[in-house]
Amino acid sequence: MSILLLLLPVLVVAALLPPLFRRGTEMRAEREDRICALRERKRVLLAAIRELDFDREMGKLSEADHEAERERMKREAAEVLIAIDREEGRSDA
Amino acid sequence: MNELGSLALITLYPVTLFGAAASFLGGHNRREGLVSAGERSLVVSFLLLTLSVLSLVVLFLKDNFSNAYVANHSNIDLPTFYKVTALWAGQEGSLLFWNWLLSLYGIAVLWSNRNRNRDLMPYVTAILLVSAFFFTNMNLLAANPFRPLVMDHAGTPIPYAPPDGRGLNPLLQHPAMVVHPPVLYLGFVGFVVPFAFALAALWTRAPGAGWLLATRRWTLFAWLFLSGGILLGARWAYVELGWGGYWAWDPVENASLMPWLTGTALLHSVIIQEKRGMLKVWNAVLVVTTYLLCVFGTFLTRSGIVSSVHAFAQSPVGHYFVGFLALGVVFSFGLIWMRREYLRSDATLDSVLSRESSFFFNNLVFLVSCFAVLWGTLFPVLSEAVRGEQISVGPPYFNRINVPIGLFLLFLTGFAPLLAWRRTSWPSLRRSFAWPAALMLAAGTILFLLAVRARYALICFSLSVFVATTILMEFYRGGRVRRRQLGESWPRALANLFLRNPRRYGGYVVHFGVVLLFVGFAGSSFNRSRAEELSPGGEMAIAGYTLRVENLEEGETPNYDFARARVVLERRGRPVGVYRPERRFYYASEQPSTEVEIHSTVREDIYLVYASTGEKGGAVIQVYRNPLVLWVWVGGIVLVLGGLICLVPMRREGPPIPKASESEGGAP
Amino acid sequence: MRPMRGRFLIGTGIVLAAVLWLAFTGFDEGKAYYRTVEELREEGEASAGKRLKVGGNVEAGSIVWKEDGLHFRLTQNEASLPVRYLGEAPVPDTFKDGSQAVVEGTVASDGTLEAVKIQAKCASKYEAEYGGESAGAGDSRS
């Protein structure tokens, strides 16, 4: 039992320290997180457009409201797509 | 075992500190090595806590009464099952258990984000470890579960074990009470995940609403457990405490209700930020408030502050909690203030008659309700601090505020789905509104003619009809669209509604559960009760029921002795069952305990209590007639099922969208 | 945009005002003053008619069931207070000789506290014996 007790802190230290002596690797660039966020945004927008269409079919929205809102969302989706292309283009360069 | 558990806790102390520092520095200086050391610290913390928890369980199983916690919460004859669950029966053990759950969430978050949100993760890890540090601190300094039972004045343990323990509180010897604390704690602790992500995103000024999406499911997960925990607590109070009700606005109950209120507000307002990029500050505030209320709730249930201010002053745990909460409030709200530019809204509210604005009022009312409950719960403490006199506010205060608020929320539950985003045109609203409103009025009129005159109950039943109709119409209209567009059969169309948009339609199921809950709540306006001493052969009548005591019996088991009445229950002359309400006396804890019997139907519950043995040697039987209680439990189950549906990942529809194959953010 | 903001402010104002009014009325209806048995004896007549919450220990052997309700005495050091329980609910399981109890009700003209609610906590005999400090008030609940 007492050997086990002594072993515990040793094991903990052995588990924690090695990464500290790893060669100084930099973290992955922020860009990937940015692309992730953009893709997530795109996904949300597309789902929102689908839901908007569905709401119109259900008769919750007037034609005009639906058109205006859809237009706005499409514009934002386009901007997001352009931003994604730009980020990805930069990674190829 | 005592030493092992203790040592694991002591080792945990530097590990959490080291890990928090390493993660933070690693994130700040972008050093992969430091970040990885921080993540390993979280894993090691989990292992150490597991070791600690297991040690305590083994101590319980081996009846090691030289440990104070075991001696105070167990005895030799306690069933093995309850020996294990006695782990969370008291303050020390439940704080340890809390901490263990925290680390469990921690490694789950690490694993699900191993390839995602890498910029946020160091800070998330740091915040989780700081939380763990505080609970470890408490476990070591103020509520050590490995404290020996007897110590000399210098604090050196004296190896003394009494022949038997004090026993587990008989009230806790009930299955609902066994699962209630872990479920509730899973809810409480779960809100640490959105909290950590929110702070990390604020700190790093992460772009987009990534943190929201990454934690949406975690929030829902925690909320589900919190809801389940509250319902199990209510169920336990109902079947075990023997006073005929399930909710008493007790500080302990309020403690779990408050984070539920803000958490529910959060689940709604998150949708607005996701769809419209609005309410960012509001959401950040809600996330922070909810987690801090969870910590505060643990504090309320564990420190006994409200039952007596003096107990609080003596309870060493109190200081640590207050310190942790104060630090949390200052740091979180300070950070929100510093990042107010980053949190600026992308859009503004366009119309009062829009989905957004209904969500806004929903949030406002949830928050007001939460604040009212907080105020009422803390009033004894506040009044003593300000006026030197403890004043408590009773259930009338809580009911007076929360019943109208609840009804308003019930109304919004039905009204909001009729509204469209941004603005709703009057004609479409009239069209959606006609049927539900007509049915609501019809139901109200019929109930009024049937002599239902309790004002709030009448409103509540009518609104329930209204909401249930709007929900059914949502399904009907949605299904009709699918049938028209895609030619699907009705069952298929309905199934696809759930699969294509689980959050929306799962949400409706949750709302339907809420309707059932409210019907059950309103039933309590018509509760009746009476008590009488009955000898064998004696009869008593209540609300169309007759109950007759057939015989009385006494007996004993190793754990307790009991007195029991055999009661035959009849409704309008027809027998509906035989019930045996019982009164027990537990030897180890020297406590009596009532075992109630309930005849439960969709209409009403007949709730039988063996209150005491009377002067003439008969049984004093207390009987309650509680209408519609079953609806509360069924509503609770529906609510949880709806929540589970919301957790199902969304199925894509139509032509595949290019490059949209990334999976959804960190789901549990 | 401006008039929109105004409308939301008005809506918010209405909600808050309604809740404040409810809070005020509900508060008066439900409030009860905490007193210890000793404080109550010192105050004498002054506390008559007020809704009170009184804490103390249940005097051993004082619990008697009578036709008009459950009678017992609450004690604190030297002071003692007669209590008659008229409430609907059965007394809690933890209520017995020597337990700590908080009763809620009003003082009648004969000086008896007419209680409608009893909360009780077991006296912790083991803790006194072992010199422990654990088992907070929260022990009986989650």
pLDDT for the residue C137? 33
Sheet architecture: strand order including B619-627: B528-534, B619-627, B604-613, B597-600
Q: Please check whether residue C18 touches B, CB under 8 A.
A: yes
Q: Give the best residue of A6, A40, A51 to mutate against chain B (max B CB count within 10 A).
A: A40
* DSSP annotation of B237: I
- CA B405 – CA B644 distance, rounded (Å): 26
Confidence of residue A51 (pLDDT cuts 50, 70, 90): confident
Instruction: Report how far apart, in Å, the C-alpha atoms of C15 and of each of B224, B368, B413, C21 are.
Output: 28, 9, 17, 10
Q: Taking CB atoms and an 8 Å limit, are C134 and B349 in contact across chains?
A: no
pLDDT averaged over every residue in chain B: 88
- CA B203 – CA B448 distance, rounded (Å): 57
Query: Which two structure tokens, joined as six digits, stand for B359?
Result: 């969500």
Residues of B with Cβ-Cβ distance to C106 under 8 angstroms:
none
Confidence of residue A30 (pLDDT cuts 50, 70, 90): low
How close does chain B come to C86, measured CA to CA in Å?
12
> In this predicted model, which residue has the larger pLDDT, A83 or B210?
A83
Confidence of residue B404 (pLDDT cuts 50, 70, 90): very high
CA B23 to chain centre: 31
How close does chain C come to B418, measured CA to CA in Å?
20
Q: Do chains A and B touch (3 or more CB pairs under 8 A)?
A: yes
Of C90, C91, C122, Cβ closest to residue B591:
C122
B488-491 long-range contacts (CB < 8 A, ≥24 apart) are: none
Confidence of residue A91 (pLDDT cuts 50, 70, 90): low
Residues of A with Cβ-Cβ distance to B30 under 8 angstroms:
26-27
pLDDT for the residue B305? 53
Lowest mean pLDDT among B103-117, B549-563, B604-618, C30-44: C30-44
**Residue B396: exposed, middle, or buried by beta-carbon count in 10 A (0-12, 13-18, 19+)?**
middle
Residue B240 scores a pLDDT above 60: yes
What is the DSSP track for C16-72?
HHHHHHHHHHHHHHH-EEEEEHHHHHHHGGGGTTS-EEEEEEEPTT--EEETTEEEE
- Reported as a single tens digit per residue, the pLDDT across B431-469 is 888 899 999 999 999 999 998 888 899 999 999 999 999
∠ Cα C31 C36 C40 (to 5°): 85
Of C26, C65, C122, Cβ closest to residue B396:
C26
Q: Which residue of A has its CA nearest to B478?
A: A58
Residue B239 scores a pLDDT above 80: yes
> In this predicted model, which residue has the larger pLDDT, B347 or B509?
B509
pLDDT for the residue C38? 83
- Reported as a single tens digit per residue, the pLDDT across A10-21 is 899 888 888 888
The Cβ of residue A44 has, within 10 Å, a number of other Cβ atoms equal to 18
Q: Please check whether residue C3 touches B, CB under 8 A.
A: no
Asked if B582 and B563 touch (Cβ cutoff 8 Å), the reply is yes
Residue ranges of B 167-206 with Cβ closer than 8 A to chain A: 206
Confidence of residue C1 (pLDDT cuts 50, 70, 90): very low
Residues of C with Cβ-Cβ distance to B349 under 8 angstroms:
4-5, 8
Q: Taking CB atoms and an 8 Å limit, are C89 and B622 in contact across chains?
A: yes
What is the DSSP track for B258-314?
HHHHHHHHHHHHHHHHHHHS--HHHHHHHHHHHHHHHHHHHHHHHH-TTT-HHHHHH
Residue ranges of A 25-44 with Cβ closer than 8 A to chain B: 25-28, 30, 32-34, 36-44
Q: Which residue of A has its CA nearest to B23?
A: A20
Residue ranges of B 338-397 with Cβ closer than 8 A to chain A: none
pLDDT for the residue B395? 86
pLDDT for the residue B656? 38
- Using only C-alpha atoms, chain A has a radius of gyration, in whole angstroms, of 25
The Cβ of residue B556 has, within 10 Å, a number of other Cβ atoms equal to 11
CA B145 to chain centre: 25
pLDDT for the residue B389? 80
Type of residue at A70: R
Q: Please check whether residue A65 touches B, CB under 8 A.
A: yes
Confidence of residue B193 (pLDDT cuts 50, 70, 90): very high
How close does chain B come to A2, measured CA to CA in Å?
9
pLDDT for the residue C122? 57
pLDDT for the residue B364? 92
Residues of B with Cβ-Cβ distance to A33 under 8 angstroms:
117-120, 206-207, 210
Q: Please check whether residue B434 touches A, CB under 8 A.
A: no
Q: Please check whether residue B37 touches A, CB under 8 A.
A: yes
Residues of B with Cβ-Cβ distance to A12 under 8 angstroms:
11, 15, 44, 48
Residues of C with Cβ-Cβ distance to B529 under 8 angstroms:
88
- CA B329 – CA A91 distance, rounded (Å): 41
**Strand C52-58 to B545-556 pairing:** unpaired
- CA B593 – CA B402 distance, rounded (Å): 32
Quote the ipTM score: 0.84
Q: Which residue of B has its CA nearest to A84?
A: B659
Residue ranges of B 410-429 with Cβ closer than 8 A to chain A: 418-425, 427-428
Residue ranges of C 81-140 with Cβ closer than 8 A to chain B: 88-94, 96, 104, 122, 125-127, 130-140
Q: Taking CB atoms and an 8 Å limit, are A58 and B653 in contact across chains?
A: no
Write b or e for each residue in B316-334: b if 16 or more Cβ atoms lie within 10 A of its Cβ, otherwise e: ebbebbeebbeebeeebee
- CA B548 – CA B570 distance, rounded (Å): 8
- Reported as a single tens digit per residue, the pLDDT across B642-667 is 999 999 887 765 543 333 333 443 44
pLDDT for the residue C79? 84
pLDDT for the residue B310? 42
Has this prediction a pTM greater than 0.80?
Answer: yes
Of B31, B116, B424, Cβ closest to residue A24:
B31
Residue B175 scores a pLDDT above 80: yes
Q: Which residue of A has its CA nearest to B32?
A: A27
How close does chain B come to C77, measured CA to CA in Å?
17
- In sign, the C-alpha dihedral spanning B413, B417, B418, B421 is positive
Asked if B308 and C137 touch (Cβ cutoff 8 Å), the reply is yes
